[in-house]
């Protein structure tokens, strides 16, 4: 399971929590590279 943009929003790669894009921005979610060109989102928790 990769933490990619999903229909209802964004899923955290670490904990699996799903939020909409505005919430991810407000909570200052970050991204890291998987080393293969994908940026994986992670929440601030």
pLDDT band at 15 (very low <50, low <70, confident <90, very high): very high
> Is the dihedral angle over the CA atoms 12, 17, 18, 24 positive or is it negative?
negative
For residue 25, give the H/E element and its range: helix 21-26
- Mean of all residue pLDDT scores within the chain: 85
Model pTM? 0.67
Per-residue pLDDT band at 7 (split at 50, 70, 90): low
Structural domain for 26, as ranges: 1-33
**Residue 2 located in a structural domain:** yes
| Residue 1 lies inside a defined structural domain of this protein | yes
Q: Is the dihedral of CA 1, 10, 33, 38 positive or negative?
A: positive
How sure is the predictor about 35, in pLDDT bands with cuts at 50, 70 and 90?
A: very high
State how many domains the chain has. 1
Asked, for residue 42, whether it belongs to a domain, the answer is no
Residue that wins the pLDDT comparison between 1 and 36: 36
Bridge partners of 2? none
Contact 12, 23 (CB under 8 A): no
Q: Are strands 30-33 and 18-19 parallel, antiparallel or unpaired?
A: unpaired
């Amino acid at each position: 399971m990769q933490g990619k943009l999903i229909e209802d929003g964004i899923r955290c790669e670490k904990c699996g929590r799903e939020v909409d894009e505005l919430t991810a921005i407000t909570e200052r979610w970050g991204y890291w590279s998987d080393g293969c060109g994908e940026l994986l989102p992670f929440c601030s928790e």
